[in-house]
Structure 1
Amino acid sequence: MKLHHVAGNTYYINYPSVVGVYKFDDDSCLLIDSGASPSFGTKTLKILDQMDLSVHGIINTHFHSDHSGGNAVIQEQTNCPIYASPVDKMFIENPLLSPFSVYSAYPLEPLKNKFVMNPYSKVTDVVEDGKILIKNKEFKIIELTGHTMGQIGIVTPDDVFFTGDAIISKHSLRKFPFLYMADLDSYLNTIEKLKNTNYPYVVVSHEGLLEDWREALEENERCIETIIQIILQNTGTPKSRETIIQEVINNLDLPINTSQYFLISASVSAYISYLHSKKMLKSVIEDKQVRFYR
């Protein structure tokens, strides 16, 4: 594993969840996300050590464990600051909130795993939309909410835009044709915001440097429309949320385990909320169930 050069002092490590690296003049660096688990954090430290680089800090695009899983081990070994949005700070510092939020209560034991529940780390600095200085270098923070309520993108001084999970590559969508969602309305606004950007380099978390990112964004839109149509086509008569969730899973032939089921369930709920807010779905109580219909 090595550092992939993008431009200037900006690099990334091409894990399944990319770790961005911005190198400062004193051979310290800022990490953008930290990998999917403590083992990726340890691996990152070894790679950086081989390059004679030390960790100055970590900035998380969002709290999901495949992006913050290496935070704890890196912070423990380097005492580095961690930057995150106000909302995602709460999840990073309170790991139980992640499985709690997808299960809607104290979570089942199978949900308390490294894919859903990130290890605790301390967010020392809260960042919001705008410009920040780190070691006298200017980074841009761009709000990219929707996938989580507090997701951010980071633009390095070299105009390299790390978009977190705001853009999922066409390759990833072919393998898994579903978009995890917290707030669909916010994500649709994020898509429009991304369309109006023109950074020369875009790095997405599950692919790396992406030249065809605008095409990928269009594919993200098509994926959303497919999911919406599945929901609408199956609500000609009132259906429970659980029935709608199952229709989405079946129609897209999504692979299922306990974690996937509840992550998909929470996301489909976000699609239902959006459609309900836009008056495209109505709700009714039938047979002591909340059901949704067109």
Structure 2
Amino acid sequence: MKIYNIKGNTYYFETKFAYMPFYKINENEIIMLDSGSYDMDEKVIKELISQYKFIVKAVICTHAHIDHVGNNSWLKEKYNTEIIMPEYESMTCNSMHNIRAYRLPSITKRMEKRLETNISMTDRKISDKDKFVEVCERKFEIVQLYGHTHYHIGIITPDDVFYIGDSLMGRDELNDTKIVYIDDIAIDLETKEKLRRIKCDKYILAHKGIYDDINQIIDDNIDYLENHMKLIIEIIKKPMTMSEILQKIFKKLDISNNVSTYILAEKMIKPYIYYLIDNGVVKIEVIDNSLKYNFNKHNAI
């Protein structure tokens, strides 16, 4: 398995769905930026560690989604890896109860089984006021990149390489992904504009891309969001329930309609609809004892 140098001591390796950055302290000790998904990345990580005889001293996590914290627990158990995470995000990982409370209140018992790898304890918490975190005498800059999740962060390594996490998606991922998950569209759009003002030598995206300049990929990500919101506006031309809207979106985007997919996709699509409601484009009302959504002609985009 191959590792790739970005700049200085900052490297990455590739899995099926992600670029996973890490910082080399020396030939054997590394600091990972996110730990990936257990069911998709665990084998690749173990092969990499074995091949290069790495010891993972710490993981700095951008946020608490399963594909970014899924290997925290076994890394902690095997290497006594220090787990570092934004304070609010860390709450999600404490227990299945918190996963339900903060992320997925509607998950089934079968879905819980997969999410068990999300559970891990955080050794050090990054507050929303922290500008830096020091790990193994190396200083990493912390950038608040809220939107994808409420306390998502970016990390700038000592080599001036900016790991943006999930705040932007690479071009191939934008083309292939049915819908991108974002907790708060309005804040996410502000974050994307904020990224334009942060100048670094290199930028790396979790899913996937390495750039010298990110202005075009920011534009591509904003276009993606706007196109999805236009799709929703086209669908909501009469009072509709959420289930009716989802049914039409699933058909338009060719999303498979099973229980797990429906539950996850509903959570992913709702923030787009709520953004349109907050901006007066869609109105919400109770009709015949049902909560319905309707295009607001007086505030059309």
Q: TM-score, normalised by structure 2?
A: 0.88
Residue 232 of structure 1: aligned partner: 233
Matched, 1:153 2:182: no
> Is contact 2:170-2:209 (8 Å) kept?
no
Tell me, what secondary structure is at the counterpart of 2:148? Answer: coil
Give the total of aligned pairs: 292
> Which residue of structure 1 lines up, in the alignment, with residue 89 of structure 2?
88
Q: Verify the 8 A CA contact 2:58 2:135 in the aligned structure 1.
A: no
Per mean C-alpha deviation after superposition, the further-off stretch among 189-198 and 3-12 is 189-198
Give the whole-Å Cα distance in 1 for the aligned partners of 2:73 and 2:153. 20
- What amino acid is the match of 1:108? T
Deviation per CA, 1:73-115: give whole Å up to 9, x if none.
111101121111122101122245445656534x21342243x
Which residue of structure 2 lines up, in the alignment, with residue 221 of structure 1? 222
Give how far 1:125 is off: 0.8
Q: Does 1:123 align with 2:118?
A: no
What letter corresponds to residue 35 of structure 1 in structure 2? Answer: G
Task: Please list the CA deviations of residues 39-69 of structure 1 after superposition, one character each: whole Å capped at 9, or x if unmatched.
Answer: 7345424423432431111111111111111
RMSD: 2.2
- Preserved CA contact (<8 Å) 1:42 1:70: no
Whether the 8 Å CA contact 1:99–1:112 is kept in 2: the answer is no
Letter in 1 for 2:123: T
C-alpha displacement of 1:243: 1.7
The separation in 2 between residues aligned to 1:56 and 1:232, in whole angstroms, is: 48
**Bigger shift: 221-230 or 16-25?**
16-25
Is the contact made by 1:154 and 1:162 (CA closer than 8 Å) also made in structure 2? yes
Alpha-carbon offset, residue 117 of structure 1:
5.0
Q: Secondary structure at the match of 2:93?
A: helix
Deviation at 1:26, TM superposition (A): 7.4
Distance 2:104 2:160 in 1: 39
Single out whichever of 76-85 and 251-260 deviates more from structure 2.
251-260
Give the SS at the match of 1:275: helix
Structure 1 CA distance for aligned equivalents of residues 101 and 246 of structure 2: 19
| Equivalent residue number for residue 254 of structure 1 | 255
Q: TM (normalized to structure 1)?
A: 0.90
Moved more, 94-103 or 75-84: 94-103
Correspondence for 1:108: 108
Per the alignment, residue 210 of structure 2 pairs with 209
Amino acid at match of 2:11: Y
Distance across 1 between alignment mates of 2:116 and 2:55:
27
CA contact (8 A) 1:63 1:89 kept: yes
Instruction: Return closer, same or farther for 1:102/1:242 CA change in 2, 3 Å cut-off.
Output: farther
Alignment of 1:243-282 (within 5 A): 243-282=244-283
- Is the 2:147–2:187 contact (alpha carbons within 8 Å) kept by the matching residues of 1? yes
CA distance in 2, matches of 1:233, 1:210: 34
Instruction: Tell whether the 8 Å contact from 2:276 to 2:282 is kept in structure 1 after alignment.
Output: yes
Q: Distance in 1 between matches of 2:27 and 2:113?
A: 37
2-structure distance, mates of 1:110, 1:222: 36
CA distance in 2, matches of 1:264, 1:236: 21
Q: Distance in 2 between matches of 1:170 and 1:66?
A: 19
Q: 1:211 and 1:244, CA in 2 relative to 1: closer, same or farther beyond 3 A?
A: farther
**Structure 2 residues without counterparts, runs of 5 or longer:** 297-301
Q: Give the structure 2 partner of residue 73 of structure 1.
A: 74
Q: Secondary structure at the match of 1:47?
A: helix
Equivalent position of 1:141 in the other structure:
142
Structure number with higher relative contact order (C-alpha < 8 Å, ≥ 6 residues apart)? 1
1:3 matched to 2:3: yes
Matches within 5 A, 1:50-65: 50-65=51-66
